[in-house]
Amino acid sequence: MKPLDPRLVRRSRAVRRYLAASVAVGVATAVVVVAQAALLAWLIARGFEGRSATAALLTGVALCFTARAGLAWVHALLSERASVAVKSGLRDEVTAAVLDPRRVGDRPEASRVVGLLGPGLDALDPYFGKFLPQLVLTALVPATVVVAIATTDLLAAVTVAITLPLVVMFLVLVGKLTRDKVDRRYEALQRLGAHFGDVLDGLRVLKVHGRRQDAGLRKVGDQHRRESVKALRMAFLSGFVLELFSTICVALVAVSIGLRVVEGHMDLAPGLFVLLLAPEAFLPVRQMGAHFHASQEGVGAAADALDLLEYDRADGTATVPSVAGAPVVLDAVGVTRDGRDVPVLAPVTATIEPGSFVALTGPSGSGKSTLLDVLLGFLRPTTGRVMVGGVDLAGADPAAWRRQVAWVPQVPGLLRDSVAANVRLGAGDASDDDVARALADAGAPDLPLDRVLEDQGRDLSAGERRRVGIARALLAVRRGDARLVLMDEPTAGLDAAAEATVLRSLRDLGATVVVVAHHRDVVAAADTTIAVGGRQEVTVR
């Protein structure tokens, strides 16, 4: 993990502005640190020599203290503001990226996105508030201090110049060592969230099978606790060693100066100046070390957010001819996935004629749903291409293409809205009569149009949900531009004969229908069968 992700600097103007302001504050701080030490040394040396302090000297020292406090306050304020700006910027961008209709590829896991948008990015506060300011000071103050010491005592300057890089190197080493621990802690947290979500989703299944999930949750929770304690232990240990090491370095300088002052080789004032300044060279590094661990979770979250922002986007603008008059040609369309040797969709070659009714068949896991994802433009084929009337779908404008498509997925994706609004999703201007007719044709004549559904239509039966999904497609074909109906096999057992009738009526409306089917009735009603995942290519009945 880099201390500062270059992607963040490139992407965020707030970060760049903050860095510039922070450097200005850092330079001022470095100057004040040196001035403060010089004035203090002078003041104390005068006291030892029995001379009283002048008003100017006292004012100077007071000014230095005030300026230092003021600069620290400004730095804190700037960091706070930068953190807020970056967090809200990333939240906006991640939301937009996840919702982008042109996004191609797998949809990011809900728990990951929710975790990131919530507490994940909040972990940037300690990073911006504590770590980054110290990083800037570390880059500026020690070098200035070493130069200032060198003007007075070369030996001390050399001692600091040699030991300081050792401390920094040590810090980097500790950072590398702890990185995995912090990563694992973040992963464990994510896993805990995802696992809890899964348990809640599957609570009823688990109940029926007599499984109590407390033990499993406790295990994942324990794992998170263990990773946290490990990370904490590492943080305390490395903090301790860092402090010890820099204290020894300062002691080295102090002993050499003390001996020289006692033996009369050095005056008190320059000796005090160097002595006051030496710890200042180590201070920002030590503080950075102290805040390093607290800030790493934020760095991880930011990296995760930036990963989500780098996605494959379908930027094509080509207009696809209407499927009503153009065939959809699958030209050796195949999909492979990273980390899997076997393709998730073995190359399929077939021609889907306008107005035909095609059944996609193949064993579970052979890639039927994946092929529909490709046709919808959610996934890019890894090999081959989909051509619609001579236009490659890869270069097509996805929004315009999807207006031609009516999709009935396995899970219909119902919104918390009225039945009518859910059916009307693809044809906003349809009248209530049209909606009612579509519902009746889909086999759900008794569903009241104004009934408001819960999220995902949880308060409907599986069959009713399916029928609302089919009604949606029917309406989109009747009222809208939808010319290609893509239907995935229903998850729940349904009246396949009734569904085949609906599909045939869709085809009679002039739509091209591609349906993933297992049921004999549906396959028998189709004009063509495309076998997915097999060696055979196209079977025409």
Interface residues with Mg ion (CB under 5 A) are: 369
- Taking the C-alpha atoms of residue 448 and residue 456, their distance in angstroms, rounded to an integer, is 17
Main-chain phi, psi angles of 51, to 5 degrees? -90, 150
- Output the smallest distance, CB 516 to ligand ADP, in A: 6
- Output the smallest distance, CB 487 to Mg ion, in A: 11
- Choose between 317 and 491: whose C-beta lies nearer to Mg ion: 491
Nearest to 165 by CA among 293, 282, 278: 282
Helical (H) or strand (E) element with 465 = helix 462-479
- 528, interface contact from ligand ADP, Mg ion, none, CB < 5-8 Å by kind: none
- Output the smallest distance, CB 410 to Mg ion, in A: 6
The contacts of residue 304 (CB under 8 Å, 6+ apart) are: 112, 116, 120
- Taking the C-alpha atoms of residue 477 and residue 513, their distance in angstroms, rounded to an integer, is 11
Binding of residue 344 to ligand ADP (CB under 6 A): yes
User: Which region among 181-189, 201-209, 362-370, 455-463 touches ligand ADP (by CB under 6 A)?
Assistant: 362-370
DSSP 396: B
Nearest to 450 by CA among 420, 475, 470, 424: 420
- 295, interface contact from Mg ion, ligand ADP, none, CB < 5-8 Å by kind: none
- Choose between 80 and 106: whose C-beta lies nearer to ligand ADP: 106
- Taking the C-alpha atoms of residue 182 and residue 180, their distance in angstroms, rounded to an integer, is 5
- Output the smallest distance, CB 367 to ligand ADP, in A: 4
- 362, interface contact from Mg ion, ligand ADP, none, CB < 5-8 Å by kind: ligand ADP
How many of the other CB atoms lie within 10 Å of CB of 438?
Answer: 26
Beta bridge partners of 385: 331
- Output the smallest distance, CB 532 to Mg ion, in A: 10
First to last CA, the chain: 59
Single-letter residue type at 251: A
Binding of residue 109 to ligand ADP (CB under 6 A): no
- Asked whether 146 and 157 are in contact (CB, 8 A), the reply is yes
- Output the smallest distance, CB 356 to ligand ADP, in A: 21
Binding of residue 271 to ligand ADP (CB under 6 A): no
Binding of residue 367 to ligand ADP (CB under 6 A): yes
- 52, interface contact from Mg ion, ligand ADP, none, CB < 5-8 Å by kind: none
Binding of residue 377 to ligand ADP (CB under 6 A): no
Binding of residue 106 to ligand ADP (CB under 6 A): yes
Q: How many residues does the chain have?
A: 541
Single-letter residue type at 126: P
- Taking the C-alpha atoms of residue 305 and residue 13, their distance in angstroms, rounded to an integer, is 16
- Output the smallest distance, CB 106 to ligand ADP, in A: 5
- Choose between 164 and 348: whose C-beta lies nearer to ligand ADP: 348
Query: Which two tokens mark 313?
Result: 């986007």
Strands 312-313 and 345-352, how do they pair? unpaired
- Taking the C-alpha atoms of residue 481 and residue 373, their distance in angstroms, rounded to an integer, is 20
Among 286, 368, 424, 483, the residue binding ligand ADP under the rule CB under 6 A is 368
- 448, interface contact from Mg ion, ligand ADP, none, CB < 5-8 Å by kind: none
Task: Write the DSSP string, 101-167.
Answer: TTEESPPPPHHHHHHIIIIIHHTHHHIIIIIHHHHHHHHHHHHHHHHHHHHH-HHHHHHHHHHHHHH
Binding of residue 105 to ligand ADP (CB under 6 A): no
How many of the other CB atoms lie within 10 Å of CB of 123?
Answer: 20
Our measurement of the distance from residue 534's CA atom to the centroid of its chain's CA atoms, rounded to an integer in Å, reads 37
- 365, interface contact from Mg ion, ligand ADP, none, CB < 5-8 Å by kind: ligand ADP
- Choose between 278 and 516: whose C-beta lies nearer to ligand ADP: 516
Residues 309-338 that bind ligand ADP (CB under 6 A): 337
Our measurement of the distance from residue 373's CA atom to the centroid of its chain's CA atoms, rounded to an integer in Å, reads 23
Nearest to 268 by CA among 60, 45, 6: 45
Binding of residue 457 to ligand ADP (CB under 6 A): no
User: Which region among 165-173, 263-271, 367-375, 434-442 touches ligand ADP (by CB under 6 A)?
Assistant: 367-375
- 367, interface contact from Mg ion, ligand ADP, none, CB < 5-8 Å by kind: ligand ADP
Among 83, 369, 512, 528, the residue binding ligand ADP under the rule CB under 6 A is 369
- Output the smallest distance, CB 376 to ligand ADP, in A: 12
Helices (H), 310-418: 368-376, 398-403
User: Which region among 87-95, 307-315, 365-373, 519-527 touches ligand ADP (by CB under 6 A)?
Assistant: 365-373
Among 119, 365, 445, 510, the residue binding ligand ADP under the rule CB under 6 A is 365
Among 175, 300, 362, 398, the residue binding ligand ADP under the rule CB under 6 A is 362
- Choose between 190 and 287: whose C-beta lies nearer to ligand ADP: 190
Per CB under 6 A, residues contacting ligand ADP are 106, 337, 344, 362, 364-370
